[in-house]
Amino acid sequence: MDQARAIETLTYSGAISQALAREHQTITNAIELISEAVLSGAPPTTVECLLDMLVTFCEGHFTSEERYLNDRGYRESRSHATAHEDLLRLCRAAQSLGREGLLGYTGEISFLLRSLRSHIDNFDKPAHASIDLASSATA
Ligand SMILES: [Fe+2]
Ligand SMILES: [Fe+2]
């Protein structure tokens, strides 16, 4: 089963945490793909296209994740949403530079990719673990 179908199936069956975890895998895979494209000297239009897909995917993911955290009363959901806004600002800045042909691959892209990876490790994983722990304690 491909990743998009797995995410859709998990979401519609109510396994939101698992769907979001799959989305994190998708984001991580996209980050690796963009990194490889940059390192292999792919044309700027290719990198920009991949970046556009990543940003669109992240917008949807952030919305779903914020709803998930809010619905479960996660105490740090506001600061988590602020971190998402910061990431989207970085994404859009990189997109703007790309459209103007000014994207410095060793600068803006690597910073954006590191920031996304760091967010998953330092914000998402602890948030999801906290919710999983709270729901297993009440089960
Ligand atoms: Fe997040
Ligand atoms: Fe996330």
Write out the chain's pLDDT in tens, 139 residues.
688 898 888 888 888 889 999 999 999 888 888 888 877 888 888 888 988 999 999 999 999 999 999 999 999 999 999 999 999 998 888 778 777 766 666 677 788 888 999 999 999 999 999 998 888 877 6
First to last CA, the chain: 30
Residue 64: closest CA among 31, 32, 21: 21
Q: Using CA atoms, how far apart are residues 4 and 114, in angstroms rounded to an integer?
A: 24
Give the pLDDT of residue 106. 61
Which domains are seen in the chain, by residue range?
Answer: 3-123 (1.20.120.50)
Q: Using CA atoms, how far apart are residues 3 and 133, in angstroms rounded to an integer?
A: 26
Q: Whole-model pTM?
A: 0.88
Please tell me the number of the ligand nearest to residue 22's CA.
Answer: 2
Give the pLDDT of residue 21. 92
- Residue 27 Cα to ligand 2 midpoint, Å, equals 9
Burial-class residue 47 by CB neighbours within 10 Å (0-12, 13-18, 19+): buried
Contact (CB, 8 A) for 128 and 24:
no
Give the pLDDT of residue 58. 94
Q: Interior CA angle at 113 toward 130 and 18, to 5°? A: 35
- Residue 109 Cα to ligand 1 midpoint, Å, equals 19
Give the pLDDT of residue 48. 85
Residue 44: closest CA among 107, 110, 100: 100
